[in-house]
Structure 1
């Protein structure tokens, strides 16, 4: 990798991500560590939601900033030096705008962040500035703009129920895919992208998501349970797309995980990949079907 030429890049660009090996069998990770960290994250989420609901917006913002940091490190492998300062500030701004004001301010904050990235590179140009700006816009969209939909769900009067539904149904995609894939997986879904994913695993994801979605809609919202079936099917599809998209990015960059921040999971982005793509879908289903 070439050395950044701008002085601010030297200060703001973290070391490039490095490949991480993971020898833990068919699961592809240390299952005990993964479960332990997952339980810990779940407890933190529930505590924040029930002790002070709006404090979860801070957790979302922190997760987005950490995700941006990981993505910047990963893109540096391909000599794409994203200006991290405007993107990180924009991440916090987008979550605040989404939580406090809704969809339109979220879009405005996204546009301002993209503009700030371009201006930053005009003030501090370097070879490959076009790629840097494109990388910055990508980081502003994924994860930040998508994460804003979670902040909008939280802002509703029944925000706790919406966030619990969003996270639980999305997590069930991973659980259902893992269980069905390990027990029955024989037909690879996308062998060139993610060899462990199978159509049998995807069917398990749809089943688990539909069950979880139906239960959440009936219990938490007192609405017809059948709304949870299309919700679950859409979440399973989007969660799988998000996981595959993250795999494509990492494969192209030549890395195993975005970081080693979360033992048994990899990095923050390795856990957010499915959630980010599902957030707009869950927001839309709850907004247009449950609120109707």
Structure 2
């Protein structure tokens, strides 16, 4: 008598999801190693030669623009990378040397360059490609210019470290709290692993980091830094969700596989470029310069 094969197990709809690298959903060892390596490069450049960090910002914007253009190509967009890449470098240098007015002028010239490039090299869908090029010049390149402006004053090291530390704490706090306590999805259709518990962790860690930075670096009341940190957590989360929407619409998981354990550079810049204008404006008002 033949024994019938066992029934296939039915997944419990209430069970916690499983991921190829554990509940974290990523190769945690590679992610930590790459993160530490990036931190060492950033800190070394800031400590040894502050203005050299402008080169790192410009290079990051060029790589980010390349990744975004590569992703947009999946939907038939052809971003004119030459004027966008040149404009990215120009915007970062202009912002660092001459401030917000120069950044705005450089962005306008970049948009004009994108339009001119498509006029010289017409092809089907030129209007759509021009719009994609201007979008890429705005996100991430124009937003990245605010990080370059934070570096310009004499206390630029402290401003940039504050910006980086508070924003990175949003990712770390949200990630840890989400993995440990995440139960209630924040936006399941956009980013299924992002939870309200994780957001609470982001707010807490950002508030602590912001309070410490403004007090120790600038001698400002701790509560101002805590308030800055709480707002940064919200803006960083919005930036993360925005990129998730872009990737979902483009049908991709990561912008590239440039950084093991993280995905692409834009997968790490999404929060930073959204927070940069906020941090620049707040520090400009609170600290001056």
TM-score range, shorter chain: over 0.9
CA distance in 1, matches of 2:287, 2:36: 29
Matches within 5 A, 1:208-247: 208-247=205-244
Give the superposition deviation at 1:225: 1.0
Q: What is the aligned partner in structure 2 of residue 252 from structure 1? A: 249
CA distance in 1, matches of 2:57, 2:124: 34
The number of aligned residues is 271
- After superposition, residues 1-292 of structure 1 pair within 5 angstroms as 23-291=20-288
1:226 positional shift: 1.1
Higher-Rg member (1/2): 2
- Distance in 2, matches of 1:83 and 1:261, equals 21
Q: RMSD of the alignment, in Å?
A: 1.0
Determine the C-alpha separation between the residues in 2 that align with 1:289 and 1:199.
30
Spell out structure 1 runs of 4+ moving beyond 4 A. none
Report how far residue 179 of structure 1 moved.
Answer: 1.3
Displacement after TM superposition at 1:181 (Å): 0.8
Q: Deviations over 1:212-263 (max 9, x none)?
A: 0000011111111111111101110111011000100000000111111111
Aligned to 1:9: none
Deviations 1:149-192 (A, max 9, x none): 00000001100001100000000001110111112111110000
Render the CA deviation track for 1:62-94: whole Å, top value 9, x for unaligned: 000000110110000000001000000000000
The gaps in structure 2 that reach 5 residues or longer are 1-18
Q: CA deviation at 1:266?
A: 0.6
Distance 1:23 1:139 in 2: 32
Alpha-carbon distance in structure 2 between the residues aligned to 1:218 and 1:98 = 27
| Larger mean Cα displacement after TM superposition, 63-72 or 176-185 | 176-185
SS of residue paired to 1:157: coil
Deviation at 1:290, TM superposition (A): 2.4
TM-score by structure 1 length? 0.91
Query: 3-state SS of the aligned residue for 1:54?
Result: helix
Structure number with greater CO (CA < 8 Å, separation at least 6) is: 1
